[in-house]
């Protein structure tokens, strides 16, 4: 039975090397700080560029698409850390997906969560004001 043949010694050695390399990587990760740093891609997905978001920039408000599981505190810390600005207020909006018809086939677009971030007077995010 060829399907259940025994592994050769070379294959056993390769497998041992792979497992030892994985163990070394995992042990290095466990030695680092116990409190993980807040990674920006983990919370903020992308800035929302639209006509409505452009009008909010004049009120010192910026709109970001965020993860569905994100909360206001996480968004505030992420924006302050990444853009080096002071956040006064964060409003969250959970948008539903819309129903779309493709001929006889009914479908649904994916919903998303967005955060409207109000900054302290005088603070701006330069990359986002230029686009809108």
List pLDDT tens digits, range 15-52: 555 555 445 544 554 554 555 554 455 899 999 989 99
Rounded-to-integer distance, Cα 130 and Cα 88, Å: 22
What is the mean predicted confidence (pLDDT) over 114-120?
96
Residue 129 predicted with pLDDT over 80: no
Structural domain boundaries in the chain: 40-121
Q: Output the pTM of the full model.
A: 0.65
**Contacting residues for 98 by C-beta, under 8 A, at least 6 apart:** 108, 109
Region class of 122: left (phi > 0), else alpha (psi between -120 and 50), else beta: left
Q: Based on C-alpha coordinates, what's the Rg of the chain? A: 24
Q: Which two tokens stand for residue 95?
A: 């948008």
| Contact by Cβ (8 Å): 113, 95 | yes
List pLDDT tens digits, range 90-99: 999 999 999 9
Provide CATH code, domain 40-121. 3.30.70.330
């Amino acid at each position: 039975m060829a399907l259940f043949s025994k592994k050769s010694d070379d294959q056993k050695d390769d497998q041992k090397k792979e497992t030892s390399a994985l163990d070394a990587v995992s042990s290095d990760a466990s030695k680092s700080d116990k409190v993980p740093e807040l990674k920006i891609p983990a919370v903020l997905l992308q800035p929302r560029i639209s006509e409505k978001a452009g009008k909010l920039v004049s009120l010192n408000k910026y709109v970001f698409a965020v993860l569905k599981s994100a909360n206001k505190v996480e968004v505030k810390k992420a924006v302050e850390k990444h853009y080096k600005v002071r956040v006064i207020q964060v409003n969250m909006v959970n948008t539903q997906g819309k129903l779309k018809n493709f001929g006889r086939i009914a479908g649904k677009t994916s919903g998303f969560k967005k955060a409207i971030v109000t900054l302290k007077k005088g603070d701006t995010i330069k990359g986002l004001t230029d686009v809108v």
